[in-house]
Structure 1
Amino acid sequence: MSLFGRIFLLNALVLVVAAALLVFGPATVSTPALSREVLVLASGLVVMLIANAVLIRVGLAPLGRLTRAMTTIDLLKPGPRLQATGHGEIAELITTFNSMIDRLEAERGYSSAIALSAQESERRRVAQELHDEVGQSLTAVLLSLKRVADQSPQETREELLQVQETTRSTLDEIRRIARRLRPGVLEELGLVSALKALTNEISEPTGLAIRRRFDKNLPPLDAETELVVYRVAQEGLTNTIRHSGADEAELSLKARPSQVELTIRDNGRGIGTSQEGAGIRGMRERALLVGADLEVGAAPGRGTEVRLTVKAKGAGE
């Protein structure tokens, strides 16, 4: 039965009952109406309205749940679908809404996969150009400066040596940026070695003390999942440096049954009630690409905790 038909039937039922009571009941209405009769009619009207409101409220309750779901849904935080309770058009509406969310999540995942793949390709290209073009050019400049400094008088040589040191520092910084854009260690030595190199690169210039804990015999991960774990760790530590005000952090990689769990915890000011920024939403998009679970919240005691749980290679197939 349609929604209109159900509401019409409920109202008709209440009116029929009221009319039957009026016709077959002992109550009558005088002209002019007595106060006793007005009281009886008012009481009957109140009962009718209450009954009508209760029946309609029960019938439209699923629409209230659907409205709350529409206002709180987040495609980056998949959750359980609404149960298609109710009758007729209401159940059909909830089923259609669930199907729409499924399509939107699939389309967003596909679009995110294309965007992140293009982003990684662009990072590799930029890193390669920094290493091959800019790096080689600066290396040639260093050699030229050294040759000129060796042939220059003493008063000029000191200035050339300072320029040489500045150029060498710039070359080191460019190499560091290239490594962060394209983690070659990840491809060559694996995830654990890449995370160790990442923590060393972050802690040395910033002074952030990072404790590392890596379980032995971690389940194997495919290449895409390892890249997601690395990028989430990179973004999590970057957010710790930029926003938390922490001086200590912990990065751990733990083995779970058919899963690997990455945890980043700091002793900073915490995330509080602030809204999630582009960094956290980017981590969520990466997690969705490999079917991982990402939780960002307050750490036990103080600070912020980022927890990423990914499936091991072959798990769930």
Structure 2
Amino acid sequence: MSLFWRIFLLNAVVLVVAAAALLLGPVTVSTPVLFTEAVILTGGLAVMLVANAVLLRLNLAPLERLTRAMTTTDLLRPGPRPAPTGRGEISGLIRTFNAMLDRLEAERGDSTARALSAQEAERSRIARELHDEVGQTLTAVLLELKRVADHAPPTVRAELRQVQETTRGGLDEIRRIARRLRPGVLEELGLISALKALTTEIANHSGLSVRHRFDHDLPALGNEAELVVYRVAQEAITNVARHARATHLELTLAHDPAGVDLRIRDDGRGPGDAPEGAGIRGMRERALLIGAELTVTPPPSGGTEVRLRVPAPTRSS
């Protein structure tokens, strides 16, 4: 039965019962209306309104739940679907909404995977060009400066040495950027070594006091999951160094039968009421690619804690 006819019949039943009570009951209306008659009619009207309101509330409650779900749904934070309660169009509408969410999450996941794959490929290309082209060019410039400095007069040699140091610093910075764009240590030595190198580099360049703790015998997550864990840690640590005004940072990588748990905690000023930026949304998109859960919360001790919960890899038989 359609929603229109259910509401119509509910109201019709209430009105028919009221009319039958007037026609078949002992109550009559005088002219002028007596006080007892006015009390009875007023009470009957109140009963009709309450009954009508209760019946409509029960039948329209699923629509209210669906409206709340529509206003709170975030594709980056998947949650439970509204239950398809109710009858007729209401139940069908909820099922259609759930199917739409499934389709949107699948399409977003596919597009995000393609975008992040293209991003990683572009990062690798830029890193190779920085290392192979710019790095080699600056290395040649350093060698040429050394040759010229060795044959220059003493008054010019000190200035050439200074230019050498500036060029060497630029070369080191380019190599550092290339490592951040393409974490070769992740491919060669694994996730723990890559995270250690990342925290060491951040500590050397930002002045943060960094501690890290890694469980032994971490399960193999696979190349994609390890890259997601590394990129989330990289983004979180970079945010701490740039915006948190923190002095201490702690990185923990632990595991249990349910999965692997990455935590980055700092003692900075915390997220406050500021909306999430592109960095955190990017971390959420990466987490969804591997079915992980990302949370960003202020711990009781202050600062910010970024937690990435990666489910345990399934073993193929």
TM-score where L is the length of structure 1: 0.98
Q: Structure 2: how far apart are the matches of 1:86 and 1:243?
A: 49
> Hey, which bits of structure 1, 4+ residues long, moved more than 6 A?
none
Q: Is 1:31 equivalent to 2:31 in the alignment? A: yes
Contact 1:266–1:299 under 8 Å retained in 2 = no
SS in 2 for 1:13: helix
Shift of 1:54: 1.1
Contact 1:262–1:309 under 8 Å retained in 2 = yes
Spell out the pairing of 1:1-317 with structure 2 (5 A cutoff). 1-315=1-315
Gaps of 5+ in 1: none
Q: Structure 2: how far apart are the matches of 1:161 and 1:117?
A: 43
How many residues in Structure 1 have an aligned counterpart in Structure 2? Answer: 317
256-265 vs 199-208, greater mean Cα deviation: 256-265
SS in 2 for 1:272: coil
The residue type equivalent to 1:138 in the other structure is L
SS in 2 for 1:237: helix
SS in 2 for 1:226: helix
Q: Structure 2: how far apart are the matches of 1:112 and 1:219?
A: 26
**Structure 1 316/99 Cα, relative in aligned 2: closer, same or farther at 3 Å?**
farther
Q: Structure 2: how far apart are the matches of 1:118 and 1:99?
A: 29
Give aligned-pair identity as a percent: 68
CA offset digits 1:89-120 (Å, max 9, x no partner): 11111111110000000000000000000000
SS in 2 for 1:216: coil
Q: Structure 2: how far apart are the matches of 1:248 and 1:192?
A: 20
The residue type equivalent to 2:138 in the other structure is L
Q: Structure 2: how far apart are the matches of 1:185 and 1:274?
A: 34
The residue type equivalent to 1:249 in the other structure is L
Shift of 1:39: 2.5
Shift of 1:80: 1.0
CA offset digits 1:276-313 (Å, max 9, x no partner): 11111000000000111111111231111111111344
Calculate the aligned-residue CA RMSD, in Å.
1.2
Q: Structure 2: how far apart are the matches of 1:209 and 1:299?
A: 19
SS in 2 for 1:217: coil
CA offset digits 1:134-180 (Å, max 9, x no partner): 00000000000000000000000000000000000000000000000
The residue type equivalent to 1:241 in the other structure is A
Shift of 1:315: 4.7
CA offset digits 1:58-115 (Å, max 9, x no partner): 1100000000000000000011111111111111111111100000000000000000
Q: Structure 1: how far apart are the matches of 2:182 and 2:189?
A: 14
Contact 1:258–1:315 under 8 Å retained in 2 = no
The residue type equivalent to 1:279 in the other structure is G
TM-score where L is the length of structure 2: 0.98
SS in 1 for 2:33: coil
SS in 2 for 1:275: coil
Contact 1:11–1:52 under 8 Å retained in 2 = yes
Shift of 1:258: 4.8
Contact 1:220–1:312 under 8 Å retained in 2 = no
CA offset digits 1:5-59 (Å, max 9, x no partner): 1101110110011001101111101123223322321221121111111110111
Shift of 1:125: 0.4
The residue type equivalent to 2:301 in the other structure is G
Shift of 1:314: 3.1
